[in-house]
Amino acid sequence: MEKRPFNELGLSDEILKAVDKMGFEEASPIQTAVIPAILSGRDVVGQSSTGSGKTAAFAIPAIERVDPKLRAVQVLILCPTRELAVQVAEEAGKLSLFKRGVMGVPIYGGQSYERQFRALAAGAQVVIGTPGRVMDHMERGTLKFDHLKLVILDETDRMLDMGFRDDIEHILKSVPATRQLLFFSATIPRPIQDLISRYSKDPAWIKIESVAQNAPQVEQIYFEVDRRSKIEALTRLIDVHDFRYGIIFCSTKIMVDDLDEHLHSRGYLTDRLHGDITQAQRDRVMDKFRHRGFEFLVATDVAARGLDVDDLEVVFNFDLPNDAEDYTHRIGRTGRAGKSGRAFTFVSGQEIYKLQGMVRWAKLNVKRGTIPSLDEVEEARTSVFFEKIRATLEAKQFKPHDRMIDRLLDQGYASTDICSVLIHLLQGGTGGSAGGPPAPAKAKPAKSAPAWAKQAMTPKAAPEPAPAPTEPAGERPALPAKKAKYARPARTGREAGMATLCLNIGLEHLVTPADVVGKIAGVTRLPADVVGAIDLHERHLLVDVRAEHAALIAKKLEGIKLKGVTLTAKPASAQDKG
């Protein structure tokens, strides 16, 4: 578990400068152990958990061993996916920034041969590629290994899982026998041991048993959730913890699409990755996610493999992963670089036994949790709201409205009452009947809660009774956020001739019904009475509009800004409505 400063590892000034520029303060344990071993020329098997810094552990010594004057391939790094190859190439590029004459090239399917060929012909010494594309180049004669000194297999376990074993063996048989061979992997299952014993010469086995100290601090919690309540459970957890950056893993493409859509229509900023998404699109999504262009990435394991993001607050296993290795890979994406992270796992029905198996096998530390109640969600929401008010006051980022407030004070109203009314209105409450700003909420006969809202969050608990309709018809509940979001009366009482649109803006953006009506009237030039009832939720809202204008209104709203939010407007689905 030892860590040492980089300058005690026998590295060149150029590398030390680069490492410093990258902000690495000291070598991680795997780097401390592996770098000198590789520099000494030995074959190495390096095993440590995801996020422990394996890339630099092999890339640093690999770059050190390159002879810049020799314009031929000297290092070959094999990676399971295109994304990983690109990331490793990026990191190697940064590490070799001050090494003149050292050049690397990523080689992967989907990019033109021409371009890769040019880089190879220009004398790149470090080739980072997927096994398939590397083989293609070997066959075409565009990749020659006469001067190869070092072969590195990164994420070996993944490569074997993905069926690259034959390709890898073919490559290993085609390289000079004098090459140094390095295996890196989070796990070393049987097939990798076979490869190691067949192709390595007396390797140094370096295994960093992380977890306790240096491993990411990931709080792991599982929740027993009825299959049909998963989305509800997910959004409650997100809201209570106020998560803003995380990955949600699903087991199938269909589930990814489905969940992405539901979350999106509930006002969460999401995007998705899975095997059917085109490469160009994937690149865009990943890039956007890395730059925090949206909050939650919904993905399958394969799609998110090798995606390198730091600072995730949370990883959700919306579906239980297949095995402990996948689990470890998934949760390794949070809690990096000493930061604390959370890993929340949903299990339904019999899956609990599968999870228990994983816990035993991999000695996982997963605790049982309970899904927050509606009250807890509400409480958290209120405190976020409180915080927002406080922060806005602190930052003085608001326009004064002294005249209106003075008028109210002059009329003898207490300032606390005025504030309470404002909050009440902000949270979607109805105003009095004195006309004034539009209060478009309409009479809605109270109905019993929809089936899923009544669903208990754990299989064993008894279903709660439907909430009694406490408000008289024609009044909106005082704090509809809670009810609106989690036990809102079904919107079957909608007027004939109205259609419902779902907008991606809600209470948390401090939007009011008046804002919405005003915006719609403004952009469409239609009279305000085309707008009917508005249901505000935490991060989205539902607005009834006259059906004949619905398409036009949606089109006009799409892409414009309201309260700083770029709007999307879609016909509301059954899920949006609860």
* CA distances to 305, 307, 517 from 90, in Å: 17, 13, 49
52 binds ligand ADP (CB under 6 A): yes
271 φ/ψ angles, rounded to the nearest 5 degrees: -150, 175
Provide the minimum distance between the beta carbon of 149 and ligand ADP in the complex, in angstroms, as a whole number: 22
Binding part of the chain for Mg ion, among 49-57, 209-217, 315-323, 469-477 by CB under 5 A, reads: 49-57
* Binding residues with Mg ion: total (CB under 5 A): 1
Q: Give 577's DSSP letter.
A: T
Q: CB 300 → ligand ADP: shortest distance, Å?
A: 19
Tallying the residues shown for the chain, one arrives at 578
Options 30-38, 52-60, 415-423, 525-533: segment touching Mg ion (CB under 5 A): 52-60
To the nearest whole angstrom, how small is the minimum distance from the Cβ of residue 102 to ligand ADP? 19
Closest contact distance (angstroms) between CB of 327 and Mg ion is: 17
Find the part of the chain contacting Mg ion (CB under 5 A) among 54-62, 338-346, 429-437, 441-449: 54-62
Total binding residues toward ligand ADP, as defined by CB under 6 A:
15
Least distance in Å: CB of 105 to Mg ion?
19
Among residues 31 and 130, whose Cβ is nearest to ligand ADP? Answer: 31
Which of ligand ADP, Mg ion, none does 32 bind, CB closer than 5 to 8 A by kind? Answer: none
Q: Which is nearer to ligand ADP, 287 or 310 (CB)?
A: 310
* Six token digits for residue 566: 């770029």
Least Å distance, CB 558 to ligand ADP, is 37
Q: With contact defined as beta carbons under 8 Å apart, do 62 and 72 qualify?
A: no
Q: Which does 149 bind (CB under 5 to 8 A by kind): Mg ion, ligand ADP, none?
A: none
**185 vs 265, which CB is nearer to ligand ADP?**
185
CA gap 486, 203 in Å, rounded: 58
Shortest distance in whole angstroms from residue 54 CB to Mg ion: 5
What is the spatial distance between Cα 440 and Cα 536, in angstroms, rounded to a whole number? 12
Q: Name residues contacting ligand ADP, limited to 300-329 (CB under 6 A).
A: 308, 310
* CB-based contact 576:541 (threshold 8 Å): no
Q: Which of 1, 337, 409, 473 binds ligand ADP (CB under 6 A)?
A: 337
Q: Taking CB within 5 to 8 Å according to partner kind, which of ligand ADP, Mg ion, none is near residue 52? A: ligand ADP
Of 84 and 181, which CB lies nearer to ligand ADP in the complex structure?
Answer: 84
Write the secondary structure of 309-360 as one string of H (helix), E (strand) and C (coil): CCCECEEEECCCCCCHHHHHHHHCCECCCCCEEEEEEEECCCHHHHHHHHHH
Q: Tell me the C-alpha distance between 285 and 276, whole Å.
A: 13
Q: Residue 296: beta bridge partners?
A: 246, 270
Choice from 56, 168, 206, 240 touching ligand ADP (CB under 6 A) = 56
Q: Which does 519 bind (CB under 5 to 8 A by kind): ligand ADP, Mg ion, none?
A: none
Q: How far apart are CA 565 and CA 159, in angstroms?
A: 42
Q: Quick one: which segment of 50-58, 131-139, 211-219, 472-480 binds Mg ion (CB under 5 A)?
A: 50-58
Question: Please, what is the minimum distance in Å from the beta carbon of residue 424 to ligand ADP?
Answer: 46
Smallest gap from Cβ 80 to Mg ion, in A, equals: 10
Q: Which is nearer to Mg ion, 57 or 240 (CB)?
A: 57
Q: What is the DSSP string of 390-458?
A: HHHHHHT-S---HHHHHHHHHTT--HHHHHHHHHHHHTT----SS--S----------PPPHHHHS-SS
Residue 576 CA: distances (Å) to CA of 258, 469, 484, 536 = 13, 20, 10, 11
Q: Which of 29, 37, 43, 51 binds ligand ADP (CB under 6 A)?
A: 51
Residue 515 token pair: 């804002």
Q: For residue 400, with 0-12 CB atoms within 10 Å meaning exposed, 13-18 middle and 19 or more buried, which class applies?
A: exposed
Closer of 303 and 371 to Mg ion (Cβ):
303
Q: Per rule CB under 6 A, is residue 55 in the interface with ligand ADP?
A: yes
Task: Retrieve residue 449's tokens.
Answer: 């809660």
| Residues numbered 16-35 forming contacts with ligand ADP, rule: CB under 6 A | 24, 27-28, 31
Q: How far apart are CA 495 and CA 505, in angstroms?
A: 23
469 secondary structure, DSSP code: -
Per CB under 5 A, does 54 bind Mg ion? yes
Strands 498-503 and 541-546: antiparallel
Strand partners, 55: none
Piece in contact with ligand ADP (CB under 6 A), picked from 47-55, 161-169, 211-219, 260-268: 47-55
Decide: 244 and 311 in contact? Cβ < 8 Å.
no
Is 182 buried (19+), middle (13-18) or exposed (0-12) by CB count in 10 A?
buried
Comparing CB distances to ligand ADP, the nearer of 208 and 554 is 208
* CB-nearer residue toward ligand ADP: 336 or 540: 336
**Residue 188 CB, nearest approach to ligand ADP (Å):** 14
Q: How far is CA 494 from CA 498, 499, 533, in A?
A: 7, 8, 8
In the complex, minimum distance from the CB of residue 151 to ligand ADP, in angstroms, rounded to a whole number = 17
| Distance in angstroms (rounded) separating the CA atoms of residues 333 and 6 | 25
* Residue with smaller CB distance to Mg ion, 88 or 441: 88
Smallest gap from residue 318 Cβ to ligand ADP (A): 23
Pick what 317 binds: ligand ADP, Mg ion, none; C-beta below 5 to 8 Å, kind-dependent.
none
| Chain positions contacting ligand ADP, by CB under 6 A | 24, 27-28, 31, 50-56, 308, 310, 336-337
| Chain positions contacting Mg ion, by CB under 5 A | 54
